[in-house]
Amino acid sequence: MSFTLKVHDYKRRRDGNQAVLVRVQPYVRLKNGEESPPIFVQSGKFWAEGGDEIDEDDLPDWVAGEIAKMSKTAKREAGLEVE
């Protein structure tokens, strides 16, 4: 799976023009100050602004602090484990 800003995925029904929601892929945008680029979290994976996946071992130190500020609901929707 690749990162997408398209949160809602709709498909058209064959028997009409009605759009049906097929999937929801929420994401969270994390940012730390003006100098650092944002990091996106979607489906439990981390993504750079350009769409490249970032390995958890390569995340900047500030990301853990920003995740700690998130609500359990936001973490769950972004695919992060919730204790």
SS (H, E, C) 16-56: CCCEEEEEECCEEEECCCCCCCCEEEECCEEEECCCCEECH
* pLDDT at residue number 73: 93
Maximal CA-CA distance, the chain:
51
* pLDDT at residue number 83: 65
The tens digit of pLDDT for each residue in 32-79 reads: 887 889 999 999 999 998 889 999 999 999 999 999 999 999 999 999
3-state secondary structure of 54: strand
Q: Check: CB of residue 45 under 8 Å from CB of residue 55.
A: no
Q: Is the pTM of this model over 0.75?
A: yes
